[in-house]
Amino acid sequence: QGGGSMAAGGAAAAEGSRGLALLGPVSGAPCCPHGPALLFVKTSQGKEEGRRFYACSACRDRKDCNFFQWEDEKVSEARLAAREEYNRSHQPSFTHRQNVERFKDFVLLPLPKRRFCQECQQLLLPAEWEKHLDHQFLRDISTAQLRSPSQLLCPLENKKTNAQYLFTDRSCQFLLDLIIDLGFRRVLSVGTPRLHEMIQSKASQEDFRVRSLLLDIDFRYSQFYTEDEFCHYNMFNHYFFGGEAACETCRKFLYEDNGERVIMITDPPFGGLVEALASSFKKLMAMWKETEKEGHNNQEMPTFWIFPYFFESRILEFFPSFSMMDYQVDYDNHALYKHGKTGRRQSPVRIFTNLTPSTIVLPVEEGYRFCAICQRYVSSGNQHCEICNSCTSKDGRRWKHCVLCKKCVKPSWSHCNNCNCCALQNHTCEKTDAGCFVCGKAGHKRSTCPSLSRT
C-alpha cells in the first residue's frame, strides 16, 4: 500500500522529472513479468524528442525490472522466445488455485504443524519442511494470524519497487464505518489489503453485510484468499494476471445485485504515475458501468482515491468530479505518515472522492468540524477565507490570504517580489531568463510546470 501494496510504478520516473512523457498503455505492447509495458517518449522544451520506448509499468528501478524496448525495434524470434521463457520463470511457483487447495490442507493441520517460512513468505505443509530447514520460520500459526495476512507477511518496503505501507486500525475502521454509513455493501479494494482483511474478518458476523474483492500486485495474498476474494492485478496497466477468468470475477463482483451498491477504494504507491493510475481506474469504472442497469448512465462509480494532498491538481485533471476531503489517513509502518503528534509531522494523505462532500462525515473528536458555507467537514484549523470563499488549508494548519497572489498560502510562506509569488523566506529565487525545460515558458520551474507529463 502506498499506499497500496503495489510496485511504485511508472517506469522511468516520477512524472516528468527526467523529461519523459507517458504515452500510455497501447494494444499489442510487449510484456515483462509485470504484464504489458507502457509506452514513453523523451521530451525537451515541451516537444517530443527522440524515439519512443516501452518500459516496465510497475518498477521505477531498472535493477528491479530491466525491461526496455524501442517502439520501432524489430525483435528476433529467438529473443521473443527467450523473453517469454524469462516471463514464465518469473511467475509465482504455485498458481492461485493451488494456493487455495494448499490453504485448505493447512487449516486442517494441528497448531504445532502449522509453519510459515519467513524467508520464502510461504505457508508450509509438513512435506515441504525439509526444503526450508535452513530458513527462519514462524510456528503455531493461529486462525487469527491467517485472518490477518498483512501482519503475517513482511511489508515490501523497498521504496523504488514496492511501497507497501498499511493503514492503521484507526484509518481502516474509519473507512469501514464510513462505507457502511453511506450504504455501500460491496468494496472493490484496489491495493488496500488491510481494509480487505478487516471486512473479511467480520464476514462471519450475522448482521455484517459488506463484501470485498481485493485487487493487488502482491501475489502472496493468494495463499489466504479464494479466487472470488482476490485477483492478482497491476493497477498501472490494468492487467489481470489471471486473464479473462479473473477479469470476469471482477465484473461479476461489480454487478449490483439486489441493490448492493459498490464503491472502489484505492491506495496506490505515491511514487506512481498519476495518469497511468487514472487510466486503470477509468477502465474499472467503465467495467462497472457496463454491468449497470438503466438509469445510471451519467453516473461515475463511487470512488475513494487515497493519495497525498499535493497531487490534488493532477487528480482533478483526470477526474474533475472529485474533491479532496480533510481527513488525514495514516499508516502503521511509516515514520512520517502518522496521525497527530506520533509522527514527526501530520500525514499529508487525503481521500479524493466523487461523492457529495457533505455526506462524508468526519469525526469531531479527532478535530474536524462542519463548515456550513463550504458544506463539508474540514480540519478544525482550516479556517474559512472570506476572500476565497472557501476553507483553503490543505495541511490542517490555518493558511493566510495573499492579496498579490490572490489566493491563500501556507503560514510559513511570504510574498517574494523577485519570484512574484509566495514562497519560504529562505528560498532560492528561481527567476531566470531561461524558459521552463518542459514547456519553454518563463516564470516557473520544471517541477511546477502546468503541462508536466501531460499527454
The stretch 76-84 carries a mean pLDDT of 94
For the chain, give the percent of residues with pLDDT over 90.
Answer: 50
Angle between helix 243-254 and helix 274-291 axes, rounded to 10 deg: 70
Kindly list the domain boundaries of the chain, sorted by start residue. 19-90, 96-141, 169-380
Between β-strands 184-190 and 211-216, what pairing exists: parallel, antiparallel or unpaired?
parallel
Cross-strand pairs, 190: 215, 266
User: Maximum distance among all alpha carbons in the chain?
Assistant: 74
pLDDT at 259: 74
For the chain, give the percent of residues with pLDDT over 70.
Answer: 83
Report the number of secondary-structure helices (H) and strands (E) in the chain: 9, 25
pTM of the model: 0.85
Least confident of 142-146, 271-275, 440-444: 440-444
- The more confidently predicted of residues 426 and 184 is 184
Flag whether pLDDT at 253 surpasses 90.
yes
How far, in whole angstroms, is CA 19 from its chain's centroid? Answer: 23
Nearest to 193 by CA among 325, 59, 3: 3
In the three-class reduction of DSSP (H, G, I as helix; E, B as strand; rest coil), residue 287 is classed as helix
Spatial distance between the Cα atoms of 296 and 301, rounded to a whole number of angstroms: 9
pLDDT band at 47 (very low <50, low <70, confident <90, very high): low
Spatial distance between the Cα atoms of 69 and 243, rounded to a whole number of angstroms: 24
CB 326 within 8 A of CB 350: yes
The stretch 4-30 carries a mean pLDDT of 60
Q: What separation in angstroms does the CA of 177 have from each of 205, 338, 350, 362, 410?
A: 15, 20, 17, 11, 32
- The more confidently predicted of residues 14 and 109 is 109
In the three-class reduction of DSSP (H, G, I as helix; E, B as strand; rest coil), residue 274 is classed as helix
pLDDT at 204: 78
The stretch 65-85 carries a mean pLDDT of 92
pLDDT band at 105 (very low <50, low <70, confident <90, very high): very high
pLDDT band at 359 (very low <50, low <70, confident <90, very high): very high
pLDDT at 7: 38
pLDDT at 386: 84
pLDDT band at 439 (very low <50, low <70, confident <90, very high): low
Length of the chain: 455
How far, in whole angstroms, is CA 195 from its chain's centroid? Answer: 13
Q: What is the CATH number of domain 169-380?
A: 3.40.50
Spatial distance between the Cα atoms of 401 and 20, rounded to a whole number of angstroms: 35
Flag whether pLDDT at 448 surpasses 80.
no
Spatial distance between the Cα atoms of 308 and 271, rounded to a whole number of angstroms: 11
Report the b/e string of 336-367 with b at 16+ CB within 10 A: ebbbeeeeeebbbbbbbbbbebeebebeeeeb
